[in-house]
Amino acid sequence: MAESNPEEKKKVEDRLASLTSQFKQLQETSQRRMSRLEQALQDTSTYESECDKFDAWLTEAEGQLKNMPPFAMLSQPLKTQKEEIEVNRAR
C-alpha cells in the first residue's frame, strides 16, 4: 500500500472503514436477534409447561364430570350436587 498513490490508499481505507462499520452493525443486529430468540425459547418453554398443567387439570376435571350423576330436578339433591361441585372446584 505504501507504493500506491494517495488516492488509492484513501479509497482502500474508506472501504475498510465502511466494511468495519457494516460488520459492527451486523454483529449488533445478530446479538439483538439472538437475545430475542433466547427469550422466545424461554417463553415457549413456559407456555408448554403451563399447557401441560392445564391438560392434566382438564383430564382430571373431565374424569370427575364423567363420574357425576345427572343433575337432579329436586331442590335438596340439587343442593347436595352443588356442594359436591364446590368441593371439587376447591381442589
* Residue 75: inside a domain: yes
* Residue 1: inside a domain: no
* Residue 12: inside a domain: yes
Does residue 26 surpass a pLDDT of 60? yes
pLDDT at 72: 66
* Residue 46: inside a domain: yes
Instruction: Identify whether the C-beta of residue 61 lies closer than 8 Å to the C-beta of residue 54.
Output: no
Does residue 59 surpass a pLDDT of 60? yes
Higher pLDDT, 68 or 14: 14
56 Cα distance to chain centroid: 20
Find the mean pLDDT for residues 51-77: 85
* Residue 43: inside a domain: yes
Range of the domain at 66: 6-90
Domain count, the chain: 1
When mean pLDDT is compared over 3-17, 37-51, 64-78, the highest value belongs to 37-51
Helix (H) or strand (E) holding 74: none
pLDDT at 91: 67
* Buried/exposed 46-63: b ≥16 CB within 10 Å, e otherwise: eeeeeeeeeeeeeeeeee
Q: With a threshold of 0.75, does the pTM exceed it?
A: no
Neighbours of 85 (CB within 10 A): 13
